[in-house]
Structure 1
Amino acid sequence: MDQQLLVFLKVAEHLSFSRAAEALHVSQPAVSQNIVNLESSLNAKLFDRTNKSVQLTKAGEIVLHYGKQIMTLYAEMEQLTDDLLRDNSGPLAIGSSYTYGEYILPHTLARFRAKFPRVTPSVIIANTHDIEARVASGELDIGIVEGNVSLDHIQVKKFASDELVIIMSAHHPLATKSEVRIEDLEKQTWIVREHGSGTREITDVALSLHHIDPASKMEFGSTQVIKEAVEAGLGIALLSVSTIRKERELGTLHIARLPNAKITRDFSIITRQSEFATKAMNLFYEFICTASAESTSMPG
């Protein structure tokens, strides 16, 4: 990696020449000289410096933007060349939206690690839009999402289907009814996920599609909190059947479905468009697609 660019990025991170020198374990004059040389080669001033502060100029902001991309590409180059010497091993940065990440991914990773113990995954759980952005920036190798993907240069492969059902407390008045009606559902408080969540996206679509206008809504940023709120009788919600297995076994939640209406969505794997992928990425990609195909082909 170019030393001048590396020093620039560290100064831009700390907005301090002295703290950048400490982080790089070099002298402050060495940091200053690298910045002078970079400014000279670019014929542009990158920092506005006073006795009290250091700020990026407009040119500095441009160099920072592209410098981060260069750092990401350089790290990828190192990883991919090193990957040629590896045998089914290496790091793997996975991002997942909440439903899959909290309730399905741990079981998938356990089976994957049993087969490929030398792959070392790290996992980030966030909403669909956050995962999409992190995959696009190169922070994540692979994303698993349940919402629509809007960014360019992202490859999307649908690999599994998911059913969503209306849930309520086992003691809710509607739990005793053999069939729920639209007017019954409109009178309820609906507990929903935050905007940017794949579950919130399909909830809004389902409500609109079935012409349900809830009397009120409550918004929470966690599926687990929504389940707790529903169990406590605060309202009803639309959640994946994958998220309520334990509650169904315990009998604390009741499932209702709209007449003649099955609400489903797709789980998708997302990756950046690239000619290259690490062995760890390819192994996990193939594993999750194969495992999904086998589960959907099983009877029952």
Structure 2
Amino acid sequence: MDQHLLVFVTVVEKESFSRAAEALHMTQPAVSQYIQVLENTYGVKLLDRNNKFVRLNKAGEIVYFHAKEILGLYTKMQGLMDDLTNRASGSLSIGASYTFGEYVLPHFIAKLHHEFPLIRPSIVIGNTRKIADLVLRHQLDIGIIEGNLESTQLKIDPFADDQMVVVASTQHRLAWLEGEVAASELEKETWLVREVGSGTREATERIIRELSIAPKEMMEFGSTQLIKESVESGLGISFLSHLAIRKELSLGLLKIVRVKGTPLKRDFSIVLQSAFQTKALEVFVKILRESKGFWNSEEG
């Protein structure tokens, strides 16, 4: 692995030469020397620094962006070479969109750790667009996303279904209506939605189109948990994964509003960039694909 790039990335992410030295088990002068060699190699300063801060300049941003990709490829290559003689082990970087990452992924990480304790997973949670981009840039070994995504550079493979439902507070007027709620009733409400780029936002926009409604107001939130809390408080209604509201349903804090065309099914998909897979990645993908029992138990 290129040690100069590793030192540079660590300095950037720690925002300090001293903290980078501590993380890399090096002396601070040694870290400074690595950065100086790298800057001499490219003939340009990469960092703006003084006694208070270390920041990327324009040249540094370019090197950092590509250094992350290069280091990701080094790690993947080393893992593949280790697999020639060893059992499934080593690092595994996993990215997941919010619904899957926060409400489903922990179950699979526990299973992975139980069966393959030598694998060291690291987790990144973000919206669908961000996770796909990190996989494309080799900064994640695998992504798990919700909703639809088209890409000619990534392999996208659906492996499980999710169900999206309209949800309201148990004290909300819609929660007390009998039978299916008319689309015109939903139009009168404030909709609490996720940010653009989120699979949940995509599903929300899809159901709004299918119902041919124009909600009076839409409020955007960057967290499903914040949306649930806001719906519970009576701020508005939302369109969320059934997986994300199981606890609130069981506690009687939220209620599913019956609406024509729901539950709306969407896919959870595995996203990969390379045809080469480490053993660690192979066994994790296998765990995901053999997860029918988990989904069946959730539906029941």
TM-score where L is the length of structure 1: 0.81
Give the unaligned 5+ runs of structure 1.
Answer: 40-44
Pair 1:55–1:121, CA change in 2 (3 A): closer
Secondary structure of the residue that 1:275 maps to in structure 2? coil
Pair 1:142–1:236, CA change in 2 (3 A): same
- Take 1:161 and 1:235, find their aligned partners in 2: how far apart are those partners? 26
Contact 2:39 2:46 in 1 (8 A): no
- Take 1:115 and 1:32, find their aligned partners in 2: how far apart are those partners? 45
Contact 1:7 1:35 in 2 (8 A): no
Pair 1:263–1:56, CA change in 2 (3 A): closer
TM-score where L is the length of structure 2: 0.81
Pair 1:218–1:84, CA change in 2 (3 A): same
**Once the two structures are superposed, what CA deviation does each residue of 1:201-242 show, in whole Å capped at 9, x if it has no partner?**
110111012101101111111111111111111111111111
- Take 2:71 and 2:45, find their aligned partners in 1: how far apart are those partners? 20
Contact 2:164 2:241 in 1 (8 A): yes
Q: CA deviation at 1:197?
A: 0.9
- Take 1:133 and 1:155, find their aligned partners in 2: how far apart are those partners? 13
> 1:183 aligns to what?
184
> 2:200 aligns to what?
199
Pair 1:57–1:15, CA change in 2 (3 A): farther
1:155 aligns with 2:155: yes
> 1:97 aligns to what?
97
> 1:26 aligns to what?
30
> 1:158-169 alignment to 2 at 5 Å?
158-169=158-169
- Take 1:124 and 1:99, find their aligned partners in 2: how far apart are those partners? 13
Pair 1:294–1:187, CA change in 2 (3 A): closer
> 1:151-300 alignment to 2 at 5 Å?
151-178=151-178, 179-272=180-273, 274-292=274-292, 295-296=295-296
- Take 2:15 and 2:298, find their aligned partners in 1: how far apart are those partners? 58
When structure 1 is superposed on structure 2, of 7-16 and 235-244 the one drifting more is 7-16
Q: CA deviation at 1:290?
A: 1.0
Pair 1:33–1:164, CA change in 2 (3 A): closer
Letter of the 1:173 counterpart: R
Letter of the 1:185 counterpart: L
- Take 1:262 and 1:74, find their aligned partners in 2: how far apart are those partners? 44
Letter of the 1:148 counterpart: N
Pair 1:280–1:56, CA change in 2 (3 A): same
- Number of matched residues? 292
Q: CA RMSD in A?
A: 3.7
- Take 2:121 and 2:239, find their aligned partners in 1: how far apart are those partners? 31
Letter of the 2:167 counterpart: I
Give the unaligned 5+ runs of structure 2.
Answer: none
- Take 1:7 and 1:167, find their aligned partners in 2: how far apart are those partners? 48
Q: Computing the radius of gyration over CA atoms, which structure comes out larger, 1 or 2?
A: 1
Q: CA deviation at 1:18?
A: 12
Pair 1:201–1:159, CA change in 2 (3 A): same
Pair 1:298–1:81, CA change in 2 (3 A): same
